């Protein structure tokens, strides 16, 4: 078991085309930094200076990490993390 991480299309070039990769439990930011060792370049696309980039949404088991502890949100074995570029909103309900 590990943490499953879903990779959006624009980042799949860094994961050799894989839509889903596996990472280690811990905080969200440690998970991302861990993945960066296997898939160099991934971390800087998602975060900057240890913080998540403004236009990247991260979900743990479908819940936005900003409803939890942001980059410090804990993830454990079996959790599913989705990385979703923010679609500029505005019209989704409009």
Partner 1 sequence: MSFVKGLKCRECTREYAIEPIYVCEYCFGPLEVVYDYDGIKKVLTKKKIESRPQNLWRYKELLPIDKEPTSGLYSGFTPLVKAEKLARHLGLKELYVKDDTVTHPTLSFKDRVVAIALSKAREFGFDTVACASTGNLAHSVSAHGAAGGFKRYIFIPATLERSKIIASLAYEPNLIAVDGNYDDVNRLCSEVANKYNWAFVNINIRPFYAEGSKTQGYEIVEQLGWRVPDAVVVPCASGSLMTKIWKSFKEMKQLGLIEDTNTKVFAAQATGCSPIVKAIKDGVDVIKPVKPDTIAKSLAIGNPADGFYATQIIKESGGFGADVSDDEIVDAIKLLAATEGIFSETAGGVTLASAIKLIESGRIAKDDVTVLSITGNGLKTKEAIVGRTVEPYHIDPNLKSFEQILNKIKNR
Residues that bind partner 1 (CB under 8 A): 9-10, 45, 53-57, 64, 66-67, 84-94
H or E element in which residue 41 lies:
none
CA torsion, points 77, 53, 84, 18, in degrees to nearest 10? Answer: -60
Alpha carbon distance 3, 46 (integer Å): 17
For partner 1, the closer of residues 68 and 78 by Cβ is 68
CB of 67 to partner 1, least distance (A): 7
CB of 1 to partner 1, least distance (A): 25
């Amino acid at each position: 078991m590990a943490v499953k991480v879903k990779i959006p299309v624009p980042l799949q070039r860094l994961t050799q085309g894989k839509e889903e990769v596996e990472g280690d439990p811990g905080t969200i930011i440690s998970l991302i930094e861990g993945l960066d060792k296997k898939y160099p370049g991934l971390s800087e696309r998602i975060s900057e200076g240890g913080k998540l980039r403004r236009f990247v949404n991260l979900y743990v088991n479908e819940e936005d990490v900003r409803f939890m502890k942001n980059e410090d949100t804990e993830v454990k074995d079996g959790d599913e993390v989705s990385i979703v570029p923010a679609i500029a909103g505005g019209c989704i309900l409009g």
